[in-house]
Amino acid sequence: MLRLIDFSWFYRDMRQNKGTILKASVEYIRRLKKDQDRLKMMEARQRQLEMNNRKMLLRMQVSFTWSPHPVHAVPCPSGSTHRVKL
């Protein structure tokens, strides 16, 4: 009885389904790769920014220590200034 039934439609749909699955898988892998590359770029940028911040902090510390005046006015959030000896 099963020999009389035409299963060709089933196999055609299965091939298309396999192709669709493969295509979706390839697109997903590409998206993951793109996200991974973007993450690596963002991490490199973050490291660069942190290094620049450290350099600027060091420059500020050096400029304060090399200042000819031993007492500096440090602004406070309240608006007044406090004298601090460095």
> Per-domain residue ranges for the chain?
7-85
Distance CA 50, CA 33 (A): 26
pLDDT for residue 61? 86
Q: Please tell me whether the overall predicted TM-score, pTM, comes out greater than 0.85 for this model.
A: no
Question: Average pLDDT for residues 66-81, to the nearest whole number?
Answer: 57
Mean pLDDT for the chain overall: 77
Separation of CA 17 from chain center: 35
For the cut 70, the answer to whether the pLDDT of residue 56 exceeds it is yes
> Residue 41 contacts by C-beta under 8 Å, 6 or more apart in sequence?
none
